[in-house]
């Protein structure tokens, strides 16, 4: 048993899609969430910048005495996970491997699309990991640089969102599954499902939550824990978007990293 909190970070509100799934799977675990809104977006930054920012986020979370770190960000998972795992002793988990484990267990998934930020697609992390672990899998990538900023704005269910998603997915061949490789994208899940009715849409946060449940030492808390949500810049739309996603008003704290 370990009563310390789970620490999570993302560049902004997207990681809350992972937070939501962890909360659903383990309501009594306390979570400390850090949204690095001051440095949003991560998707257009260099690998070295993502590594540097990830280290700062992890240092902040370690000061809050967390037992494990969840990188609730596809961009940081794809470009910084290996590096930070080699530096820190605390267990650090990203969004890619739990999803690959899930796809491995599904024999019918052979044609997979990945939509993600520019940095994630450039890193080829999804493609390399999928192809090295699953035989005969076809991977189709598409970078979608407009989606995370739209999600931060709360533009997740309007006509612009529908058109933008259509533009990004229109050239995919018939897919068995589409991986939402950026944690902001589950906010668009409804629209994506409407446009791809015969494709399984994979929310990586869901896969991560069931994976982490078997991996960490759970706490002895008997009640739903009071989480702490920190942002590096509170001058943003986080409260409104988080309300759309979680259906509850959250209290924000300011973090300096």
Contacting positions for ligand DGL (CB under 6 A): 10-11, 14, 40-43, 73-75, 117, 120, 148, 182-184
Nearer to ligand DGL, 3 or 46 (CB): 46
Nearer to ligand DGL, 4 or 38 (CB): 38
Which active-site residues does the annotation give?
Answer: 73, 182
Tokens of residue 232, six digits: 């590096």
Q: In what order do the strands lie in the sheet with 200-203?
A: 138-143, 111-116, 177-180, 200-203
Q: Could you tell me the smallest distance in angstroms from the CB atom of residue 220 to ligand DGL?
A: 32
**Residue 72: CA atoms inside 13 Å, Cβ hemisphere, count?**
33
Q: DSSP code of 5?
A: P
Closest chain position to ligand DGL (CB): 43
Q: Report the DSSP beta bridge partners of residue 253.
A: 230
As measured in angstroms, the least distance from the Cβ of 80 to ligand DGL is 11
- C-beta of 152: minimal distance to ligand DGL in Å? 8
Nearer residue to ligand DGL within complex by CB, 58 or 219? 58
Using CA atoms, how far residue 59 sits from 7, 87, 148, in Å, is: 11, 11, 25
Question: Can you tell me the distance from the alpha carbon of 178 to that of 141, in angstroms, rounded to the nearest whole number?
Answer: 10
């Amino acid at each position: 048993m370990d009563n310390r909190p789970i620490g999570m970070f993302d560049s902004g509100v997207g990681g809350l899609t992972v937070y939501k799934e962890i909360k659903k799977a383990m309501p009594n675990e306390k979570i400390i969430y850090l949204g690095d809104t001051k440095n949003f977006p991560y998707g257009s930054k260099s690998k070295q910048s993502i590594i540097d920012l990830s280290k700062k986020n992890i240092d902040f979370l370690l000061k809050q005495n967390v037992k494990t770190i969840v990188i609730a960000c596809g961009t940081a998972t794809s470009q910084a996970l290996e590096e930070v795992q080699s530096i820190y002793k605390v267990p650090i988990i990203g969004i890619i491997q739990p999803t690959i484990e899930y796809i491995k267990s599904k024999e019918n998934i052979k044609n997979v699309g990945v939509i993600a930020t520019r940095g994630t697609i450039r890193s080829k992390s999804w493609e390399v990991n999928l192809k090295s672990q699953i035989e005969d899998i076809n991977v189709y990538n598409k970078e979608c640089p407009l989606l995370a900023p739209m999600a931060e704005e709360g533009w997740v269910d309007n006509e612009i969102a529908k058109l933008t998603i259509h533009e990004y997915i229109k050239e995919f061949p018939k897919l068995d599954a589409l991986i939402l490789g950026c944690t902001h994208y589950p906010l668009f899940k409804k629209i994506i499902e409407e446009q791809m009715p015969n494709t399984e849409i994979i929310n990586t946060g869901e896969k991560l939550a069931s994976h982490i449940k078997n991996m960490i030492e759970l706490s002895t808390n008997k009640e739903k824990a009071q989480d702490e949500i920190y942002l590096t810049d509170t001058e943003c739309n986080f409260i409104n978007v988080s309300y759309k996603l979680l259906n509850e008003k959250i209290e924000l704290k300011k973090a300096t990293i």
